[in-house]
Structure 1
Amino acid sequence: MRNLNIPDEVYMHPGNMSCPGCGGGIAMNLVLKALGEKTVLVIPACCWAIIAGPHPQNSLKVPVLHTAFETAAVTAAGVRAGLDVKGDSETTVVAWAGDGGTFDIGLQSLSGTAERGDDIIFICYDNEAYMNTGVQRSSSTPFGTRTTTTPGAGWKKTRKKDIMEIMAAHRIPYAATANIAYPRDLLRKVEKAKAAKGGTRFLHIYATCPTGWGIASDQSVKVARLATRTNVFPLYEVEGGISTTLNETGDLPVEEYLKVQRRFKHLSAEDFREIQRDVDADFELIRKRAEVG
């Protein structure tokens, strides 16, 4: 770990409830390394509500407040207000939610918090479905995916919601994508979000789910890396809702990413071409914004 300039301190206890190869577990480990012990996590219903453990148990070495599915952001804002009253300006308050608690059920709370400029970091670890309750589709689930609620020929026919566009539209100080396969980039962005002032900061972390995606647990990081190398999940930052910086991009065809996951095995060559066109169009939009600065 020292060769990657990643802190040695670990804020997760071994033997927790995460699945083998869980991208969300990898993400949490890295994020806490960057934030340190003076952190409070607010976790709504999601895989991590189970992994963290029921009160009074805690698989993490920082305080955790469990909250309702739809209230992660506003609860975190309340924790921040309470700490401010106590004169504690050192502790970082983080809302930590899956895609269901970010893209869907938690979006209204997140939008309100961002609009008010509450001093929290909101982190979405995105595994692209409601994995904790049985792999049901969310609005983060990409086009072409089979889930338990989009089975057989009824695979998901709509595209993934662009949460970064939504958050940038709030003109928040800092929003960024990150990927568990690029740990140094991820840690840098967490540190940058922590240092940013003047409102809500948002991190969208790509977190593979071997169980829901149909990949081997030892392929979790490899598949995550393919997502960025194919521009399915480019790494970039948006400051003030406008200034865009591309950090990491790829040049591989999207098929290289899709063909290694069972959730996409039913797709045809034409489906691959349609997804490639969408990925290219989305990436071109980000690239043009980055050129403007």
Structure 2
Amino acid sequence: MAINIKKLANEPELLASGHRACVGCTGATIIRQVLRAAGPDTVISFATGCMEVVTTIYPYTAWRVPYIHNAFENAAATISGVETAYRALLKKGKIDKKINFIAFGGDGGTYDIGLQSLSGALERGHNFLYICYDNEAYMNTGIQRSGATPRGAATSTTPAGKVIPGKPQNRKDLTAVIAGHHIPYVQGRFKHLFIPKNRYIIDELQAEVDKNWEELKKKAGVE
């Protein structure tokens, strides 16, 4: 379904002002745009994280749609349960409108702590949208490394020094993990590349990258 940006800008704000996010916070902007597109008939499941903290400091909330705060590990499990209840009510004729289901999690609650429940929800085929707000570290608790932290990055738990130059592990390829569940849509990388018969596309792309890289090294005088 095409979205008219001009029309979308005139939709009511479903994330109220006055929350504790910093001025210009990207996370708050993303939430506002997602809610504008999804509309008021939306249920949100939100894992513990910085955006949960700044939008729902007790006893206040900035959310103008049904909102469920979850522990770090179970945003996907919670929204899958709500979506299942919705389908049951539809079947019994007790509800007759379309409702959107969205789960939010940071990289800690998605790449690491919440990966198991997310995998289960995807495998079961629940109809919901999962959005990972990727800070590339556990920013809410002191900038500890996460599975999304790039290799070599300095964090409070992987400080860069003379012995260890930052995080020694590679960043987890979560998009490939999610695509491996064979769900209808994965944003972040083209899902069709992960179909075995299309493996040659990846090989051709990599060969082109390698070729250009070698040419760039020659121009820069690097061996």
For the superposition of Structure 1 and Structure 2, which TM-score range results when normalised by the shorter chain?
A: 0.7 to 0.9
* CA distance in structure 2 between the aligned counterparts of 1:17 and 1:237, rounded to whole angstroms: 35
1:167 correspondence with 2:178: yes
Pair 144,240 (structure 1): closer, same or farther in 2 beyond 3 Å: closer
> Greater RCO between the two (CA within 8 Å, min separation 6)?
1
The residue aligned with 1:46 is 49
Matched, 1:135 2:143: yes
Runs (4+) off by over 6 Å:
2-5
CA offsets, 1:180-234, max 9 Å, x none?
xxxxxxxxxxxxxxxxxxxxxxxxxxxxxxxxxxxxxxxxxxxxxxxxxxxxxxx
Match of 1:20 among 10, 19, 23: 23
Identity among equivalent pairs (%): 39
Deviation, 1:61, is: 1.4
- The counterpart of 1:36, out of the listed 25, 36, 39, is 39
Q: Which amino acid in 1 is paired with 2:116?
A: Q
Q: Does 1:11 align with 2:14?
A: yes
Any stretches of 5+ residues in structure 2 without a counterpart?
197-201, 210-223
2:113 maps to what in 1? Answer: 105
Cα distance between partner residues in 1 of 2:8 and 2:175:
26
> Matched residues in 2 for 1:175 and 1:58: separation?
30
Please say which of residues 112-121 and 11-20 is displaced more in the overlay: 11-20
- Residue 91 (structure 1) shift: 1.0
User: 1:6-62: per-residue Cα shift (whole Å, max 9, x none)?
Assistant: 432222111211123322112111111111111111011111220221455211211
CA distance in 2, matches of 1:92, 1:51: 23
Aligned residues: 191
Q: Is the 8 A contact 2:153 2:160 kept in 1?
A: no
Instruction: In structure 2, give the amino acid aligned to 1:85.
Output: A
d(CA) in 2 for partners of 1:175 and 1:92? 17
Query: Which entry has the higher C-alpha Rg, 1 or 2?
Result: 2
Q: TM-score when scaled to structure 1? A: 0.59
Give 1 or 2: higher strand fraction: 1
Q: How far off is 1:282 after superposition? A: 10
Structure 1 unmatched ranges of 5 or more = 178-235, 244-280, 289-293
**Residue 57 of structure 1: which of 57, 60, 79 is its match?**
60
CA distance in 2, matches of 1:282, 1:92: 38
Amino acid at match of 1:25: A
**In structure 2, what is the Cα distance between the partners aligned to 1:105 and 1:168?**
19
The whole-number CA distance in structure 2 between the counterparts of 1:283 and 1:27 is: 34
CA RMSD of aligned residues (A): 2.8
